[in-house]
Structure 1
Amino acid sequence: MAKEIVGKMVDNFSEKVHEHPQNEVIKHAMMKNGIQGSIENGVSQVAMNHVFSEEIATGKVTNQEQSGRCWMFAALNTFTHRLNDLFNLQDFELSQNHINFWDKLEKANYFYENILETADEPLDGRLVSWILSTPQQDGGQWDMLVSLIEKYGIVPKQVMPETFHSRKSGELNGLLNAKLRADAIKLRKLHQEDESDEDLQEVKGEMLSEIYTLLAYSLGEPPKTFDFEYRDKDKIFHRETGLTPQAFYEKYVGIDLHDYVSIINAPTTDKPYGKTYTVQHLGNVIGGTPIKYLNVDMETLKGLAAKQIKDNESVWFGCDVGQDSNRKEGIMDSALYDFEKAFGFPIHMSKAERLDYNDGMLTHAMVLTGVNIVNDKPNRWKVENSWGEKVGNKGYFVMSDEWMNDYTYQVVVHKKYLSDELKKAWGQEPIVLKPWDPMGSLAMMK
């Protein structure tokens, strides 16, 4: 049998396209409206009602614009929910740009240290190739945010507002990555010339100074101290002077971030439930909080998230947002599109198979702010996104419980919700995963 495509095969393919008259209708509909626009399930739209039995009062959604900072926006949104309640604020925002500046500087240092650590590894080996593939980018994980806040604190958005390159990060990221790769060449050459560790660190310090200048020019320079002025919902004016970013966090947020744990659902055979995991060479702050996950079954993960929502606290979560979702309508539902009926062949994979065969990974972080419970079981979840008010229901999405099962990989919850068994499991030394493991993916969807 011929291995190449031959004319007779193509003739057979074409005959199948024209085998049934309705195929012409399907073809023309998709040519005009696109695949998803032609096969969207109207029943799903009706079922994804924006009403929830358990719902947290929030406010106007934020907008990360043309940047991959969703993980920062999601985390800071959970803090502002708390601030709004405690200090009678409305539509208050924390500075995402402040976190962004320090993240990029720290990621540069993390990259340099990875280059020095692997200086004896072959340049074309998988590890160095992986490190060089993306020296830094916008994406991140919960523990990376913990490291940044502990070291640098947070500030109100009015103190360090957005800039052109915080909103549109592509050009800045391209320049940063070119600079970092050029520096990697120099560091590896100096290592090969037997430069001392002390001399290499001095060179690295000069490189970081150049990175700082680039970031200061494009993102602005973070404040060392600032005054916090605002009017609350009752129009009462408040002022506090001479705050540091760390002092602001302690006074106005005051959450011990180490009380929160990352719970994942990765049902692959290489990751047994009840074990903790970390990822080699994944992080941003040298000496910061290491990446750590506890892998559990999906019912446990959802139960923990629902408990926190019922206690009026929103939940940071990570998912594969591009799968079976309608961005404009703000619907995430596994039944939203029926590809099999349209094309006549199944494309379904299990969650484990999607992870194993590179068809699924964590791509985006958002916030769970509600859940609809029917007969003690959730059937849909309310999601606060960070794509502005022009998508979904003024920026809010609704997610079916089936979609939650299929495409949600991580939630961050207070450890008080863990059972004694899970608390014991969390205390285990984590199993180290390779850098390219799907659990090493970063939330960065725009």
Structure 2
Amino acid sequence: MANEITTQLLEVFTANFNEKSTNKIIKNTVMKSGIDAAAENNDAVVAMNHVFSEEITTGAVANQKQSGRCWMFAALNTFRHKILETFKLKDFELSQNYTNFWDKFEKANFFLESVLKTAEEPLDGRLVSWIMSTPQQDGGQWDMFVSLIKKYGVVPKQVMPETFQSENSRRLNSIINRKLRRDAVKLRGLFSEGKSEAELQRAKEDMLSEVYQILTFALGEPPKTFDFDYRDADDVFHREEKVTPQAFYKKYVGIDLEDYVSIINAPTKDKPYGKTFTVQFLGNVVGGKPVKYLNVDMDTLKQLAIKQIKENESVWFGCDVGQSSNRDYGIMDTALFDYEETLGTSLHMTKEERLDYKESVMTHAMVLTGVNLVDEQPTRWKVENSWGNKVGKKGYFVMSDKWMDEYTYQVVINKAYLSDELKKAFDQEPIQLKPWDPMGSLAFMK
């Protein structure tokens, strides 16, 4: 039987609040300055020094602006670090807009194929409802990025620069999603009428043609070939003519993406360590690289990241950036805000509980470019973000090791740094997770 809130109960709460003299001071501070300002721990701000024992030279940060393409920016940044060093380039960027175009186009096809695959499922069932909730968006995962690069290559930013809608993606996303939901209505209708597979595919191709048109209006048309002129740090001029995006990737990036695997830390009972996982209906390129994770304990994940950084190679990672972080300072630290002491309540949850009870998932992808080691144990990490140079320290953040334990969920590691045991574990057939599993979340934070 439900019990309502009574007047007598409210009187008890009021008395409890007012019997503590410090509550009035806290109330005035929070009301005037906000919870974060009242709860800020200055000792944590001082402790998070932007100096690291192991550090990779990376250059200026990129800026995804008002878009959720962090995963794409972070991945392209790992390529950029290699290009800057190998070819002695200054402040060079790869085109995020080029990759963004193909991601949105492929996601449209992935969605329409999912509609056809679930055409017999009830419209009000959980699966179809989940598919319809977001036909496509800016967010993504490492393996989704790999599928795009293997199929389409990369181009320099000067070849396909940013546009208004690539940097401000909300309106474009809403229009494409409205169109795709309309197309879903039509495809499910054609299926219910008994149309053949060939007829359904022809209808889908007409729909994709219109999506291509919308994307070209908004983002520009991706080049099939291009010329590339640049002057290196030694002031030597270089020219490449009629280069394809795939050839450009092979020459200037040259990374074998099959050498890299996703390592996660998801300490929930349904995901044993040492097992691999995939997520149903998670992807962008039909026929592309399936999403696959190896779940390990946090110490193993961190040691793998340290090995890669020590070899002068940055690390793509996914985390929940909104937790205990400050953009102005560029700090992510569990000690940064003492909400419990300030507000007089307990907020503690374990990492497992936060995942199980929807308190935390991966929301953002960035790049680890340094780590501070004391007796070979990490105390803090250097993070390259993609929010421009006006946040943090010229765009860079410092992350405490405790924050990494609690809110980092994924790193991408070269298989060369995995033990034989981990390599064998990764080769296992993955366990399939439901589409709405926390590990199916996409990095999309603006």
Q: TM-score range by the shorter chain?
A: over 0.9
Report Cα offsets for 1:135-154 as digits up to 9, x if no partner. 00000000000000000000
Work out the CA distance in 2 between the residues paired with 1:228 and 1:6.
73
Aligned residue number for residue 226 of structure 2: 226
Report Cα offsets for 1:1-47 as digits up to 9, x if no partner. 97111112222222222222211111111111110111111111111
Aligned residue number for residue 107 of structure 1: 107
Residue 394 of structure 2 corresponds to residue 410 of structure 1: no
Aligned residue number for residue 206 of structure 1: 206
Aligned residue number for residue 341 of structure 1: 341
SS in 1 for 2:373: strand
Corresponding letter in the other structure for 1:79: F
Deviation for aligned residue 1:328? 1.3
Residue 445 of structure 2 corresponds to residue 445 of structure 1: yes
Aligned residue number for residue 236 of structure 1: 236
Aligned residue number for residue 398 of structure 1: 398
Work out the CA distance in 1 between the residues paired with 2:7 and 2:136.
47
Report Cα offsets for 1:145-170 as digits up to 9, x if no partner. 00000000000000000000000000
Work out the CA distance in 2 between the residues paired with 1:260 and 1:143.
9
Aligned residue number for residue 53 of structure 2: 53
Work out the CA distance in 2 between the residues paired with 1:2 and 1:101.
52
Quick check: 2:259–2:415 contact (8 Å CA) kept in 1? yes
- Which moved further from structure 2: 37-46 or 156-165? 37-46
Report Cα offsets for 1:298-332 as digits up to 9, x if no partner. 00000000000000000000000000111111100
Deviation for aligned residue 1:216? 0.1
Quick check: 2:364–2:443 contact (8 Å CA) kept in 1? yes
Work out the CA distance in 1 between the residues paired with 2:436 and 2:62.
31
Work out the CA distance in 2 between the residues paired with 1:2 and 1:428.
49
Corresponding letter in the other structure for 1:361: V
Work out the CA distance in 2 between the residues paired with 1:345 and 1:402.
21
Aligned residue number for residue 283 of structure 1: 283
Work out the CA distance in 2 between the residues paired with 1:7 and 1:239.
79
Work out the CA distance in 2 between the residues paired with 1:147 and 1:120.
28
Corresponding letter in the other structure for 2:49: N
Work out the CA distance in 1 between the residues paired with 2:395 and 2:250.
29
- Which moved further from structure 2: 8-17 or 209-218? 8-17
Aligned residue number for residue 327 of structure 1: 327
Corresponding letter in the other structure for 2:410: Q
TM-score, normalising length: structure 2: 0.99
Aligned residue number for residue 17 of structure 1: 17
SS in 2 for 1:285: coil
Work out the CA distance in 2 between the residues paired with 1:319 and 1:17.
37
Work out the CA distance in 1 between the residues paired with 2:319 and 2:107.
23
Work out the CA distance in 2 between the residues paired with 1:2 and 1:84.
64
Work out the CA distance in 2 between the residues paired with 1:297 and 1:164.
42
Corresponding letter in the other structure for 2:315: V
Aligned residue number for residue 252 of structure 1: 252
Q: How does 1:14-413 map to 2 (within 5 A)?
A: 14-413=14-413
Give 5+ residue unaligned stretches, structure 1: none
Report Cα offsets for 1:410-445 as digits up to 9, x if no partner. 000100100010000010000000000000000000
SS in 1 for 2:148: helix
Cα RMSD between the aligned structures? 0.8
Corresponding letter in the other structure for 2:161: P
Corresponding letter in the other structure for 1:303: Q
**Residues 1:369 and 1:15: Cα distance change in structure 2 (over 3 Å):** same
Deviation for aligned residue 1:395? 0.4
Work out the CA distance in 1 between the residues paired with 2:164 and 2:94.
18
Identity %: 69
| Number of aligned positions between the proteins | 446
Work out the CA distance in 1 between the residues paired with 2:33 and 2:232.
47
Q: Give every structure 1 segment of 4 or more consecutive aligned residues whose post-TM-superposition deviation is greater than 4 Å.
A: none
SS in 2 for 1:388: coil
SS in 2 for 1:58: coil
Work out the CA distance in 2 between the residues paired with 1:261 and 1:15.
57
Work out the CA distance in 1 between the residues paired with 2:304 and 2:393.
26
Corresponding letter in the other structure for 1:26: I
SS in 1 for 2:175: helix
- Which moved further from structure 2: 175-184 or 27-36? 27-36
Give 5+ residue unaligned stretches, structure 2: none
